[in-house]
């Protein structure tokens, strides 16, 4: 493209990252607001819960949950597949292939007249979104500097939330018009346009310099790094960073060569780091994030007894508020750090779930309880994006070692989609059967976030990916690593001879012309 520096980073953000994560949010929540539409239920009577009662309604609720969750099963396999193909194909080729899959899935969905076609389309779409969710944050992290890596990657959460709010208002807009088939077919067709953007532009952005170094393509890595930093090919800073990447690969080369090594600890603390990623992605789903985003219309309509139009308006308002709340993390992630945001978010979400459970326990006819419940849905949407809508993807890419960054991110993201599937499967039945008690599960899980993060999660703010690698390998124990990470940065953690090595490499590069 001929772009470099901040201009290139902005192009990467707008042309690839933004559409990828808008697709994530839009398609994940894209069906929740359609489930009570008349033409939808006429086309898919097997999952119609509006016109049935008793055992038959319960049976349809289970099927409905399974159909909605087909997307997350596809996403699970899509994220998991990146563990094997991500480092073989590179970041850009995986993103291109994933965008193609999302386009195919969206076309199958919006043209469906039978449930089987819809399910197949939803699975393929999920596979593409899962691959994007595992690969794009890694690509961003590997192309960003330590000073702004947090802001760059946490924007993923803003874009996911943008997808949620677009879906909510588009669904409401088409709900208000009279052509019944178009009420759901057009909202499902709109993301096909979004899928075309990364498909057409991803190869205009340079490949990850860290992946290129890992493949021994040093000169291409130097060119890529120069482009992202806006520096000349022989700048000492570029040489020093390339040397740091090579050193980190040399240090971890023997112990991190196979995916199976993730499940061993050893000097590199791989299993500890993997556990941090797995548990963080579990928390992201089981704190109630997907419950509120995907089923907000159902919560307002069935759980709180509001009418169909009011439910959709409130759902759109809640998701719009969530989008604006995302920018709290954008402005604080590189100032206060990852740990403080995780803990603050956990306390806030637990408080909201407690209040939501209490307010929802009153009869649906109680207007004051309805208003209170709606208020805490909105307040929950303030707390969730601060720590658990983009920062979780960021953190997993930061603690993973260079050679296993994609496999570790892929498996942990697959775990994210696994629990997403559980929530999608259980929620329709839970709201219909146990009602307000369902929120107690999310209350308990949100409440354990602050102590778990305080004890076991090291701070990653302000350090390069290679410095974080050394922090883990040189730490004597988990408590020592956490304690070290909380200390102010004093010139970094890189070896003293690294800058000198960079100068030598740079001199050799100049001699070679």
**What's the confidence (pLDDT) of residue 172?**
81
Confirm if 349 and 288 have CB atoms less than 8 A apart.
Answer: yes
What number is the average pLDDT over the span 454-463?
92
Which band of pLDDT confidence, cut at 50, 70 and 90, is reported for residue 253?
Answer: low
Higher pLDDT, residue 36 or 10: 10
Could you tell me which of 207, 203, 204 has the C-alpha nearest to residue 219? 207
If you average pLDDT over each of 30-44, 292-306, 384-398, 438-452, which comes out highest?
Answer: 438-452
Q: Rounded to 5 degrees, what are φ and ψ at 475?
A: -70, 135
The CATH number of 5-205+265-466 is 1.20.1250.20
Which band of pLDDT confidence, cut at 50, 70 and 90, is reported for residue 32?
Answer: low
**What's the confidence (pLDDT) of residue 370?**
79
* Cα 287 from Cα 398, distance rounded (Å): 22
* Cα 249 from Cα 232, distance rounded (Å): 24
Q: Rounded to 5 degrees, what are φ and ψ at 337?
A: 95, 170
What number is the average pLDDT over the span 396-414?
87
- Take residue 237 and report the two structure tokens written for it: 């800073």
**What's the confidence (pLDDT) of residue 509?**
44
pLDDT, one tens digit per residue, over 323-359 is: 899 889 888 988 898 999 999 999 999 999 999 889 8
Q: Which of the 8 DSSP states describes residue 362? A: S
- Take residue 232 and report the two structure tokens written for it: 């000349």
pLDDT, one tens digit per residue, over 185-220 is: 999 999 999 999 999 999 999 999 989 998 889 999
What number is the average pLDDT over the span 301-318?
77
Which band of pLDDT confidence, cut at 50, 70 and 90, is reported for residue 232?
Answer: confident
- Percentage with pLDDT > 70 across the chain: 92
Higher pLDDT, residue 412 or 304: 412
């Amino acid at each position: 493209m001929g772009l470099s520096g901040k201009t290139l980073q902005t192009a990467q953000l707008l042309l690839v990252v933004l559409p990828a994560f808008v697709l994530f949010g839009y398609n994940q929540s894209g069906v929740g607001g359609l489930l009570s539409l008349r033409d939808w239920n006429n086309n898919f009577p097997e999952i119609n819960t509006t016109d049935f009662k008793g055992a038959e309604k319960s049976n349809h609720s289970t099927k409905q949950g399974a159909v909605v969750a087909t997307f997350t099963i596809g996403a699970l396999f899509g994220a998991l597949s990146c563990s094997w193909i991500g480092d073989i194909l590179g970041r850009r080729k995986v993103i291109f292939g994933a965008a193609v899959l999302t386009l195919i899935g969206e076309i199958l969905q919006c043209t469906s007249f039978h449930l089987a076609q819809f399910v197949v389309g939803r699975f393929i779409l999920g596979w593409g979104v899962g691959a994007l969710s595992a690969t794009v944050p890694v690509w961003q992290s590997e192309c960003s500097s330590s000073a702004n890596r947090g802001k760059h990657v946490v924007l993923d959460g803003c874009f996911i939330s943008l997808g949620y709010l677009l879906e909510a208002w588009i669904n409401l807009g088409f709900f208000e018009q009279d052509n019944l088939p178009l009420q759901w077919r057009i909202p499902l067709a709109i993301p096909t346009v979004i899928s075309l953007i990364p498909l057409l532009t991803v190869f205009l952005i340079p490949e990850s310099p860290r992946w290129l170094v890992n493949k021994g393509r040093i000169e291409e890595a130097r060119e890529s790094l120069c482009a992202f930093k806006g520096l000349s090919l022989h700048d000492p800073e570029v040489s020093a960073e390339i040397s740091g990447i090579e050193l980190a690969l040399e240090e971890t080369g023997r112990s991190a060569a196979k995916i199976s090594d993730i499940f061993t600890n050893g000097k590199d603390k791989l299993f500890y780091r993997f556990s941090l990623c797995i548990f963080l992605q579990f928390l992201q789903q089981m704190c109630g994030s997907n419950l509120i985003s995907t089923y907000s219309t159902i919560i307002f309509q069935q759980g709180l007894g509001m009418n169909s139009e009011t439910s959709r308006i409130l759902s759109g308002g809640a998701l719009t508020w969530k989008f604006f709340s995302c920018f709290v993390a954008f402005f604080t992630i590189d100032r206060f750090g990852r740990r403080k945001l995780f803990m603050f978010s956990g306390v806030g979400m637990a408080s909201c779930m407690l209040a939501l459970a209490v307010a929802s326990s009153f009869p649906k006819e109680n207007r004051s309880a309805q208003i209170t419940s709606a208020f805490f849905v909105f307040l929950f949407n303030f707390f969730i994006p601060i720590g658990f809508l983009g920062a979780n993807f960021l953190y997993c890419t930061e603690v993973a070692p260079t050679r296993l960054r994609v496999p570790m991110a892929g498996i942990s993201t697959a775990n994210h989609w696994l629990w997403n599937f559980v929530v999608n499967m259980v929620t329709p039945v839970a709201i219909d059967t146990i009602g307000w008690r369902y929120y107690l599960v999310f209350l308990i899980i949100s409440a354990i976030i602050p102590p778990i993060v305080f004890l076991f999660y090291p701070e990653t703010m302000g350090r390069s990916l290679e410095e974080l690698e050394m922090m883990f390998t040189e730490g004597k124990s988990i408590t020592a690593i956490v304690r070290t990470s909380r200390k102010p940065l004093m010139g970094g953690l890189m070896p003293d001879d690294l800058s000198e090595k960079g100068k030598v490499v740079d001199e050799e590069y100049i001699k070679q012309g």
